[in-house]
Amino acid sequence: MGTVIVGAVLLGVVAIIIRKLVRDKKSGKSLQCGVDCRNCGGHCER
Amino acid sequence: MAIKIALAGNPNSGKTTLFNALTGSNQFVGNWPGVTVEKKEGKLKGNKNVVITDLPGIYSLSPYTLEEVVARNYLINERPDAILNIVDGTNLERNLYLSTQLMELGIPVIMAVNMMDVVDKNGDRIYTDKLSKKLGCEVVEISALKGTGIQKAAEKAVAVANSKNVTVPVHTFAPEVESVLDAVEAKLGSNIDDNQKRFFAIKLLEKDDKISTQMKSVPDVTKEIDEIETKMDDDTESIITNERYVYISSIIDECSTKNSKGKLTISDKIDRIVTNRFLALPIFALVMFIVYYVSVTTVGTWVTDWTNDGLFGESWRFFGTDVPGIPMLIGNLLDAIGVAPWLEGLILDGIVAGVGAVLGFVPQMLVLFIFLGFLEGCGYMARVAFIMDRIFRKFGLSGKSFIPMLIGSGCGVPGIMASRTIENERDRRMTIMTTTFIPCGAKLPIIGLIAGALFNGAPWVAPSAYFVGIAAIICSGIILKKTKLFAGDPAPFVMELPAYHLPTVGNVLRSMWERGWSFIKKAGTIILLSTIFVWFTSYFGWIDGKFRMLDVLELDHSILAKIGNVFAWVFTPLGWGDWRSAVAAITGLVAKENVVGTFGILYGFAEVGEEGNEIWGSLAGSMTQIAAYSFLVFNLLCAPCFAAMGAIKREMNSTKWFWTAVGYQTILAYVVSLCVYQVGTFITTGKFGAGMVAAIILIIGFIYLLVRPYKESTTFNVKLKGASQSK
């Protein structure tokens, strides 16, 4: 039971991360530079 | 509809500081010109209907660099409802040059004279009421840093935007110029808005080649230009520039008084030492040594040790009580709810080990970011660009190339983007190719790991990483400049040195937090996913033809080991031909922190810090100190992470140039690492083999490329149709 619960939570976390990365990528943000364009003024949004 | 207000002004006049104060944003602020290269938008605090745009700093509306084009095109095409013109009160005369041009755009303008606190401190006076009358627009005194007067400036900007009262330039040129301007305006027809006609007419007279892209039809004004140039015996651009400065000089005399004319300011006195011909470089080297030494080896390490040994170790003490570390807590929880061993392994040996190994270096990184934030904020880094110009110029780059490298010490992506401030395309490309040699924040964990675990915290290792980067830039500059691709004189470097000031604690902490938080977020996303991949591929494999989960001692049979062994031999001459190191270096391409995360999983992370000898003994056993330094050098210089490579591709705007840059970086990293390992091994052990022979050949070749004379081409080959080759 513990395996199912923890596995489901982990899968959920991974799904959320992938969804966020894909969304950020689609909106033009960089995946790797922290997905935070405030530092570089959104350079990668071009 | 939202009201649009644009912040426009000279570089380093405080636009971004004002933008942050008005919108509550956390945009990066630095005390040097050229921090902002792309426009940014934010909503005014307390009035979400007002959108404020922070534009890159410009000296005039005649753009030369890419970011100047961004600012001018925004003002012409987007036509904000009002312009809040930020003027540096300590440099009024130079700043007013742009102001006179902004008022010709046919947009309501409010002027905010910034740095009034410094003006008052210097005993100078600016009579804003007189200035307002002379310029024909409202003038407000502000200090963006201290937050005084900024609300009033915003309110006035909103009011003038609502009133839609276009600012009409009070200033007129000489009668001869005005009559020609009238004639040009008449030629513009109805395609250009009436309010913008004067601006376009002036630009056409100035022979601004980029203005035609903003016009549907470009009238021929050659006759008008010839007429005025003959009459005034000068070219039109100089005539108009001169007219503006004559006008500004007349305003300055009436609207301001200087207390400190001819006296040396504190900034001047400091500059006499830190930019001194002989002292500048040693001071810079000392400053960077202290920054890296303190960040990685002393203060940063104390906190990192606590993080690694306590928070991510077995336990840590809190007010006399033992608190279990995160792995212990999670392990106990997973045991209590009866999680399967493979899932426990994934979480503890994969995610906690990998992400924990990376997060363990956050304290060191935060300390480094505090130092960098302080150096940038106080104005010293602007001096470094000036100091580096003297060296860079000798091999064909200008000090302007140092600005992207400075920004790149946080993250390579904005560093590469900052190369847009370089007008000369050749210099820009070379800067893009070399910027990522400066260690970015993500490389700091690798430096910390090698310095701590393999060199027992030797003080020279961390600072040497920075100097390896600088040396790589200088050598690359010398070598590349002698090739046909980059030959030519460097562009002139003109940069104003901002006055020194103590940055506010808030700004330094914000700069540190913004950079650090990006890193932490990355650990929670891309690094976490990577650790799951690395754990799965390293803890599953075939033993006796059977695919199963592996024990920690069986990792050599894993999928990752099989993949790693395919290309590990490539790195054997560099001293780390083990599949683990090879895989770690390759995963670093996803994000450089992955190098440490992968080691964390493959060597069973518990303590990655300075004191992590027990666990990292296996890492230390797999490579010598020389090999470890070779590994460090390779990871510092080789192709950056995918994000930075993407930035290189975008900025180069050419597949050929992209591959040239990435190829050059990787080959250089390989050659330098090979030489470090082979020569280092020869010196320490006396071993002389084929690798050493290759290293000698490479060193000779490298020295030849460095010292070979630069030959200017004396012939020009042209292929003519129907004729043999002509010279």
Complex prediction ipTM:
0.80
B9 appears as a binding residue in the annotation: yes
Per-residue pLDDT reduced to its tens digit, A1-16: 888 999 999 999 999 9
Tokens of B584: 């770690």
Instruction: Give Cβ neighbours of residue B626 (< 8 Å, ≥ 6 apart).
Output: B575, B676, B677, B680, B681, B684
Which is nearest to A38 in space by CA: B624, B606, B24? B24
Annotated binding residue at B360?
A: no
B671 contacts B490 by C-beta, under 8 angstroms: no
Distance CA B541, CA B560 (A): 8
DSSP B662-698: HHHHHHHHHHHHHHHHHHHHHHHH----HHHHHHHHH
- CA B462 to CA B364: how far, in whole Å? 11
B16 marked ligand binding residue:
yes
- Exposed e or buried b per residue across B347-361, where buried means at least 16 C-beta atoms within 10 angstroms of its C-beta: bbbbbbbbbbbbbbb
**Rounded CA separation B32/B11 (Å):** 8
pLDDT for residue B714:
57
For residue B81, the domain's CATH number is 3.40.50.300
- B251 and B272 share one domain: no
Helices B625-637 and B655-685 sit at what angle, rounded to 10 degrees?
170
What's B726's DSSP letter? Answer: B
Strands B315-318 and B47-54, sheet pairing:
unpaired
Regarding whether B135 and B229 lie in a shared domain, the answer is no
* pLDDT higher than threshold 50 for residue A45: no
User: Residue B131: which domain range?
Assistant: 3-163
Q: Other C-beta atoms within 10 Å of B678: how many? A: 27
Domain boundary among B129, B163, B197: B163
Confidence tier at A30 by pLDDT (50, 70, 90): low
Element (H, E) at B646: helix B642-652
CB nearest to A17's CB, from B40, B525, B647: B525
Q: What is the pLDDT of residue B512?
A: 85
Interface with A, mutate which of B413, B522, B529, B535 (most A CBs under 10 A): B413
Residues 6+ apart with CB under 8 A from A13: B528
How far does CA B614 lie from the centroid of its chain? 38
Q: What is the pLDDT of residue B606?
A: 44
Answer yes or no: are the C-beta atoms of B641 and B586 closer than 8 Å: no
> How far is residue B346's CA from residue B217's CA, in Å, rounded to a whole number?
66
Check the annotation: does B116 bind a ligand: yes
Residues B643, A44: C-beta atoms closer than 8 Å: yes
pLDDT digits (tens, 9 = 90+) for B382-399: 888 888 888 777 777 777
- Do B105 and B83 touch, CB atoms closer than 8 A? yes
Interchain proximity A10–B338, CB inside 8 Å: no
Both B253 and B270 in one domain: the answer is: no
Sorted by where each begins, the domain ranges of chain A are: 2-45
* B698, B674 Cβ separation under 8 angstroms: yes
Question: What are the residues of chain B with a beta carbon less than 8 Å away from any beta carbon of chain A?
Answer: 25-28, 36-38, 40, 334, 337-340, 343, 346-347, 407, 410-414, 417, 514-515, 517-519, 521-522, 524-526, 528-529, 532, 590-591, 641-644, 646-647, 650
Residues 6 or more apart whose CB falls under 8 angstroms from that of B107 comprise: B75, B79, B80, B81, B82, B83, B166, B167, B195
Residue corresponding to tokens 């103590």: B502
Find, among B112, B80, B118, B81, the residue nearest to B99 by Cα.
Answer: B112
Half-sphere exposure in the Cβ direction for B518 (13 Å, CA)? 30
Nearest residue, CB atoms, B529 vs list A14, A35, A41: A14
* Chain A residue at shortest CA distance from B42: A38
Taking alpha carbons only, the member of B650, B379, B664, B359 closest to residue B528 is B359
Instruction: Check whether residue B240 and residue B271 sit in a common domain.
Output: no
SS3 percent helix, strand, coil of chain B, rounded to 5, is 60, 10, 30
Beta strands B321-324 and B315-318, pairing class = antiparallel
DSSP state of B30: -
Which residue's entry shows tokens 């395309």?
B425
Query: Does residue B246 sit in the same domain as residue B281?
Result: no
pLDDT band at A43 (very low <50, low <70, confident <90, very high): very low
Question: Are residues B219 and B142 both part of a single domain?
Answer: no
Number of domains in chain B: 3
Residues B156 and B188 in one domain: no
Instruction: Give CA–CA dist A41/B513, Å, rounded.
Output: 16
Query: How many CA within 13 A on the CB side of residue B72?
Result: 23
Phi-psi region of B136 (alpha: psi -120 to 50; beta: other; left: phi over 0): left
Looking at the domain assignment, is residue B525 inside a domain?
yes
Neighbours of B46 (CB within 10 A): 10
How far apart, in whole angstroms, are the C-alpha atoms of residue B577 and residue B540?
22
Half-sphere exposure of residue B470: CA atoms within 13 angstroms, side-chain side: 18
Amino acid in the structure at residue B56: P
Q: Which chain B residue lies closest to A39 (C-alpha atoms)?
A: B28
> Binding residue per annotation — B692?
no
| B516 and B597 assigned to the same domain | yes
Same-domain check for residues B129 and B206: no
Sort strands B546-549 and B540-543 into parallel, antiparallel or unpaired.
antiparallel
Does one domain contain both B698 and B571? yes
pLDDT for the residue B364: 83
B136 and B202 belong to one structural domain: no
Length of chain B: 727
Angstrom distance (rounded) from CA B5 to CA B590 = 39
The residues pairing with B3 across neighbouring beta strands, listed in sequence order, are B50
Are B248 and B279 part of one and the same domain?
A: no
> Exposure of B591 by Cβ count < 10 A (0-12 exposed, 13-18 middle, 19+ buried)?
buried
Task: Give A3's contacts in chain B (Cβ within 8 Å).
Answer: 338-340, 343
Helices (H), B500-545: 505-522, 528-539
Residue B86, SS3 per DSSP: strand
Q: What distance in Å separates the CA atoms of residue A14 and residue A19, rounded to the nearest whole number?
A: 8
Question: Does B168 reside within a domain?
Answer: no
8 Å CB contact between B199 and B105: yes
Q: How far is the C-alpha of B135 from the C-alpha of B255, rounded, in Å?
A: 11
Per run of 10 residues, the mean pLDDT along chain B (length 727 residues) is 89 86 72 61 88 87 75 86 93 90 91 91 89 91 90 92 81 86 86 85 87 82 88 88 89 84 80 90 91 82 74 75 83 89 88 83 85 86 84 76 79 79 82 90 88 84 91 89 78 76 84 81 86 90 88 86 91 91 89 86 58 56 88 94 84 89 95 95 90 94 86 57 49
How many contacts, defined by CB atoms under 8 Å, are there between A and B? Answer: 113
Please report, for residues B11, B70, B75, B473, the alpha-carbon distance to residue B55 in angstroms, rounded to integers and kept in the order given.
10, 8, 9, 30
The span from the CA of B452 to the CA of B611, in Å, is 7
- Do residues B531 and B354 make contact, with C-beta atoms less than 8 angstroms apart? yes
